[in-house]
Amino acid sequence: MAKIKEKTLKKLKRKSFWPSIVLFLAFLIVSFTIVFAGIDLFATYIIGSKLTGLYEQAMDTGIMMERAVQDGESIAYGLDHVDHYRRDPSDIYVTDSVGNRVASTGDSAPLFDQGFEWTLGERCRIYKDSKWDYGQEALDDIEDIFDFHVPELADRAFDRAPMGHGGNTMRSRWLQESIVEQQFWMYVPVSLNGKKLYIKCTLEILRQDVIYIMALGGVALILLLIPLIFLFINTILNIRMQRRITKVLYMDPVTGGNNWIFFQGYAAKMLGSVWNSRKTYAMVNLHMERYTNYLSCYGSSQGEELLECMDGFLRARMKRKEVFGHHSRADFALIFQCEGDNEEQCRNYCYLRLRSLLAELAGLQPERKLHFHAGVCMIPPVEAETGKRFIKRKNVDVDQLFNFANTAQKSSHTDAEQIFFFSDRMLEEQSWEQWVEDNMQNALSAGEFQVYLQPKYTPTDRRLVGAEALVRWVCPQKGLIPPSRFIPIFEENGFIMKLDDYMLSKIAKLQAEWKVQGKKTVPISVNISRAHFTQEGLAEHISQLVDGYGPKHSLVELEVTESAFFDDKEVLIDTVKQLRAYGFPISMDDFGAGYSSLNSLKDIPLDVLKLDGDFFRGEDEMGRRAIIIRETIGLARELDIRVVAEGIEQREQVDFLAGLGCDMIQGYYFAKPMPVEEFEARVAADA
């Protein structure tokens, strides 16, 4: 599930609006590039067309010169002849083969060191004019003829509006006006008896040329703006959608603030930053006690309002570069930055800040009493390695850090102690619980859970009349593990039900074997955990389990703890009645450890009552406790219930109980829990 959740979050994060923005900007750049490139190409095309016309005119002039010279006329005659017959006369310059002037018209000349070759069908050369200021040092390409750009052309094209009167004629004249003139010399490749011919040309750009260029650019821009507008709208919609996704992804639906997903990501980034590696932080699990009771009293809507109020309160109290988020139910995760020069100072700072925070939280609703606990896991700074200035916290596991803080929080048991810090001991307990859960099923299958029996004796004649079955875990790696190390874990994770069945089967099998072997049998009591009473058809299940081996039901006594009375009273009473109907004796274990002992005696049909061992510990055995014990034994006798006193370790206690008429005694005074073989020897000796 964790991997699936992580992949889903990555997919959502990849659906970013940045690709849409990048695509929009790229399309925008490409669009304007295409428009300006098109304008430039069209302008070049127009100029090229005009140069082509000038070249053709120059070739016509050159052919006229060539014909005159071939008819035996001189160069001077050819110049006059051409000047006489051309409609648009222009300057002509004739040189010999080495570039010396032979003849010319006009007062300017080509600059032969400032020219370039231009291909127009055939290759020709173009040169600067000696009297024209080009504003450039060299002439390398056709664009170098001009000392202006398209924006400048646009300014010149609209430097004045067309005449308002005159109709189409005036507008036509306005369009035909020349806004740019540029003069240059063009070499004309004709045969003039070894002479070279150069003709001066004037390139004109008309107002209509520029308007055509701009109109083409405008049309292209409009055509490109249509998809650009759609792309812009799509980008805006993607940005809005991404913000909605982010809001849904990172906003807690109850508090309206940061949720656990946001907290995880931000905390991992913050703690993993090189800039924060030298600082001490504290992971805090802030927990509201008895939140379920609050919901029962005031309703779910009031509970959500309280959590929302807590979120706003924490938001106002958190400092810059600190983060918090709602984890689940009434739990908030916080990360504090601690101040101090050493570990103890940072710890004290965190403790004082949390104590002030919890005090303020308790007063959020003055008319109601609120209780809060906090678990803290300190996050120390990273030690700098030699020669390294910047370092990072490696493998920052936010979930694990919060689990440590949660473990510390759960270690609190009173309202007086509100703040608990995670320690190595707690980590060892967590590791032990994990080891137990990892190995319990294999241990059950391998028979590592062994039956120990603690005898029960009569206080008067010291006869062995029964026993209690106790479990011991004999692990090949860890040796003998006492019940206190694994029974609470089993009760929490539910494995205790399998262990109950295992112990019942073992005792039923032992009783059947002793009967077959002709050995003396005594009732053996087996504990039935309170979790088992949630099982439907429990009485029938136990009966079938015992019947699988065939002993008498009267030899298998079932012990029920008094705490089971507080779960489901009706189910418990009904199940006990069914078990007694099947012939199983019922014993109430730890009588007197709870707060409703007399009430349970009134409602539950019992055969045996086991007085809790705490009655016989302490210095006031002959005072108030003696009165309670005497009255309890007397009450049990009136109800026809046998009494077992457990935890008896002294002779004076045995004598005291014998005088009160106690039926059985179980404790170290007579015997400790022992393996089955040793118990069998005791039974045989007692017989």
Beta strands in 221-322 (DSSP E): 280-288
Residue 119 pairs in a beta bridge with 123
- The candidate with the shortest Cα–Cα distance to 645, out of 454, 453, 451, is 454
- Cα 346 from Cα 685, distance rounded (Å): 66
CB 260 within 8 A of CB 327: yes
Does residue 639 sit in helix, strand or coil?
coil
- For 667, phi and psi rounded to 5 degrees? 170, 175
Beta strands in 359-461 (DSSP E): 372-379, 419-421, 449-457
**Which strand (E) or helix (H) includes residue 99?**
none
**Residue from 646, 649, 652, 678 carrying the catalytic annotation:** 646
Q: Which distant-in-sequence residues (6+ apart) come within 8 Å of 653 by Cβ?
A: 616, 621, 645, 669
Query: How many residues appear in the chain?
Result: 687
What SS3 string covers 194-213? CEEEEEEEEEEEEHHHHHHH
**Which strand (E) or helix (H) includes residue 414?**
none
CB 338 within 8 A of CB 325: no
* Residue 665, burial from CB neighbour count under 10 angstroms (0-12, 13-18, 19+): buried
- For 305, phi and psi rounded to 5 degrees? -65, -40
* Residue 369, burial from CB neighbour count under 10 angstroms (0-12, 13-18, 19+): exposed
Does residue 679 sit in helix, strand or coil?
helix
DSSP state at residue 28: H
CB 382 within 8 A of CB 393: yes
- Cα 370 from Cα 366, distance rounded (Å): 9
Amino acid letter, 255: T
Does residue 533 sit in helix, strand or coil?
helix
**Sheet of 122-129: strands edge to edge?**
101-104, 92-95, 195-206, 178-192, 122-129, 110-120
- Give the number of other Cβ atoms within 10 Å of residue 40's Cβ: 15
Token readout for 636 is: 């049990």
Q: Which distant-in-sequence residues (6+ apart) come within 8 Å of 372 by Cβ?
A: 286, 287, 288, 289, 358, 361, 362, 418
Token readout for 59 is: 């070739």
Residue 200 pairs in a beta bridge with 185
- Cα 198 from Cα 126, distance rounded (Å): 9
- The candidate with the shortest Cα–Cα distance to 255, out of 309, 292, 299, is 309
- Cα 606 from Cα 576, distance rounded (Å): 8
In the residue annotation, 344 being an active-site residue is answered as no
Greatest alpha-carbon pair distance for the chain in Å reads: 167
- Cα 466 from Cα 643, distance rounded (Å): 12
- For 287, phi and psi rounded to 5 degrees? -125, 135
User: How far, rounded to the nearest angstrom, does the alpha carbon of residue 480 sit from its chain's CA centroid?
Assistant: 43
Token readout for 686 is: 């007692």
DSSP state at residue 384: P
- Cα 454 from Cα 501, distance rounded (Å): 19
Token readout for 151 is: 């924006």
Does residue 686 sit in helix, strand or coil?
helix
Q: Which residues are catalytic?
A: 646
